[in-house]
Each structure stands twice: as C-alpha cells, then as structure tokens.
C-alpha cells in the first residue's frame, strides 16, 4: 500500500518534459522490391531482416531542433535481396526553458522515442504495400543507444581522438 495521495500529480513533481513537438514529417522514404515477382512467389523462404537505426539532431532555431530518426530494413531470401526499406522520419522539437546540458539527452532519447511509433507504422505499411507481410519493428531502447554512444565517445576521447559528428549542444 502506498501513502501517496491521489491528487493527480506525482509527489516528486511534474512528469512532463519542457518539450514541444512543432511538426513531424517524412523527410525521405524509399522501398525497393528488386526481385519481384520472384521474391513474392509462393513457397519462398521467410526473409531474414536486418534493421539499422540512427538518430541525427541539428539545431534549426533558438531552442528548436530537427531530430531525424533513420530506419533501414533489408530483407534477404538466401543471397538475394527481397526488399529494402529506408525511412528518414523527422520532427521539430522546441525545448523552452530546458537547461542546455539537458538538451542532448532529451533530443537523443525522448524525441526519437516519440517519433518511433509513427516511423514503425510507415515501414509496416510500406512492406505490406510492397507485397510482403507487414514488418513490425520491435521497440527500440533509445536510452541504451545513447549510453553506448556516449561510452564510445568517451573511449575515443581517451584515445586522443576528437569525437566525430558530435552535435554542438
């Protein structure tokens, strides 16, 4: 049993981030079905699908950032490509009042977490419309991806190399 009051607010304070989603949009979408109709014939082997994920952030105004979630799904049947789906799904995020030191984790974790369900649906529809079963990408742990990226950058810094591609925030 909990001794917190049920007044609709978390006792630790507000749970929402100071982040506004200004827009969401498809920046780039590609679906290739290079071996159709052979890849769609009955009794074809189930394709092996490899998924690639990347998140890019760039400032576009004062406290406004474009976050691009890039998904790449390549399916192979043996050695031949069954399909290739690539999506760059973006959002414009405003971070009013958020201290600068918190921008990077919020933009690299929370923003792509918000974009992911929409990007997942687009990829699912594209594969279905391409003649294959809808590809349902499993949820992605963006916090873990961010931690691994930060660890890799720290290791690079210890090796005397400057971090490459680090956003200016």
Q: How many other CB atoms sit within 10 Å of the CB of residue 90?
A: 21
Please write the tens of the pLDDT for every residue from 122-133: 999 999 999 999
Pick the CATH number of 20-138 from 3.40.1190.20, 3.10.420.10, 3.40.50.10710, 3.30.365.10: 3.10.420.10
Helix, coil or strand: residue 112: helix
Mean pLDDT of 114-143: 96
Please write the tens of the pLDDT for every residue from 92-113: 999 988 888 889 999 999 999 9
Worst-scoring range by mean pLDDT, 81-85, 94-98, 138-142?
A: 94-98
Using alpha carbons, select from 13, 95, 87 the residue that is nearest to residue 53. 87
Q: Grade residue 63 by pLDDT with cuts at 50, 70 and 90.
A: confident
Helix, coil or strand: residue 169: coil
Instruction: State the pLDDT at residue 143.
Output: 94
Buried b (16+ CB within 10 A) or exposed e, 92-129: bbbbeeeeeeebbebbbbbbbebbbeebbebbbebbee
Does the structure show a pLDDT above 90 at 2? no
DSSP letter at 35 equals T
Does the structure show a pLDDT above 60 at 167? no
Sequence-separated (6 or more) residues with CB below 8 Å from residue 56: 67, 68, 70
């Amino acid at each position: 049993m909990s001794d917190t009051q049920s007044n609709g607010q978390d006792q630790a304070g507000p749970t929402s981030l100071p982040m506004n989603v200004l827009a969401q949009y498809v920046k780039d979408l590609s679906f290739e079905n290079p071996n159709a109709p052979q890849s769609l014939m009955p009794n074809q082997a189930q394709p092996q699908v490899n998924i690639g994920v990347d998140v890019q952030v760039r400032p576009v105004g004062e406290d406004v950032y474009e976050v691009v979630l890039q998904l790449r799904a390549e399916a192979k049947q043996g050695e031949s490509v069954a399909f290739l789906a690539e999506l760059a799904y973006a959002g414009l995020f405003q971070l009013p009042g958020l201290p600068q030191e918190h921008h990077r984790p919020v933009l690299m974790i929370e923003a792509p977490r918000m974009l992911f369900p929409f990007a997942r649906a687009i990829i699912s529809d594209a594969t279905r419309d391409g003649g294959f079963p809808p590809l349902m990408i499993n949820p992605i742990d963006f916090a873990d991806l961010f931690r691994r990226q930060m660890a890799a950058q720290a290791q690079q810094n210890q090796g005397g190399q400057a971090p490459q591609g680090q956003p200016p925030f």
